[in-house]
A = this chain, B = another copy of it.
Amino acid sequence: MMKTHTDREYENQLRNLRDHLLTMGRSVEDMIGNAILALVRRDPALAKQTIETDRMINRLELETDELCLVILAKRQPMASDLRFITLSLKMVTDLERMGDIAVNICERVVDLSASEPLKPYVDIPRMASVVQGMVRDVIDAFVKADANQALAVITKDSEVDALYTRVFRDVLALMVADASTIERGIHVQSIAKWLERMGDHVTNLAEQVIFMVNGKDVRHASSLAKIPTV
């Protein structure tokens, strides 16, 4: 059967929406990498440059929202397309906030670059690399509509949490032993905390992918006996 012009236009709109989300995901992944590189290298210029890329993510958020609204208003998407579009509206918010978090990390990096290093960073780059992998995998799971891969992303988050706890304890021990480290220690703890929060956002994204694929809501599985279906 020949596709109509309208079919093709609709498909293009959906592809465009998907591309926007992919670009946002990749940009967030890059921001995390550069923020932590700036920390390790004590490079405030790289941190400031990374902050600038957040503007692109913000622009993509607005454009993606607009795309969703246009599709919802002009087409009447049903079933799986409707789920894809409404979840895009939610995913874009998580991705945009991850960009904001990367900005927060960069601001701490700028502060930390001005004083003596607290200690060599080992666990924080490790956290960042786990989170980057999670972002990559969740976007891949989204494109392939692969619920199992999304589920694997969720299990990765406990690794991030464990690393966060270790960083928190290590830095606390330093602060207790030497009060002159407290201010820097709090900055380092904040960076670890922001990375941990990134992990939470990726977990939200993964839950959304699973919902998109299965039509099952894995959020708050215990709080509803009935699983909502549309």
Contacts and interface: CB of A to CB of B under 8 A. Distances in A.
A186 interface: yes
B63 A228 contact: yes
A172 interface: yes
A183 B175 CA distance: 10
Interface residues of A, number: 38
A86 to B, nearest CB: 6
Q: How many copies does the complex hold?
A: 2
A122 interface: no
Contacts of A70: 230
B175 A182 contact: yes
A62 B228 contact: yes
B93 A62 contact: no
B172 A228 contact: no
Interface string A69-104: 110110010110011001001100100000000000
Given A59-B224, A220-B62, A182 B186 contact: no
A68 interface: yes
Given A70-B230, A86-B89, A89-B86, A220 B182 contact: no
A84 B69 CA distance: 11
Contacts of A176: 179, 182
B62 A230 contact: no
A93 B79 CA distance: 21
26 contacts: A55-B222, A55-B223, A58-B220, A59-B224, A62-B217, A62-B219, A62-B223, A62-B224, A62-B228, A63-B228, A65-B228, A66-B228, A66-B230, A69-B82, A69-B83, A69-B86, A70-B230, A72-B82, A72-B86, A86-B86, A86-B89, A172-B183, A175-B175, A175-B179, A176-B182, A186-B189
Given A61-B219, A65-B217, 12 more contacts: A55-B222, A62-B220, A65-B86, A69-B82, A69-B86, A72-B82, A73-B230, A89-B90, A90-B93, A172-B186, A175-B182, A186-B189
Interface of A: 55, 58-59, 61-63, 65-66, 68-70, 72-73, 76, 78-79, 82-83, 86, 89-90, 93, 172, 175-176, 179, 182-183, 186, 189, 217, 219-220, 222-224, 228, 230
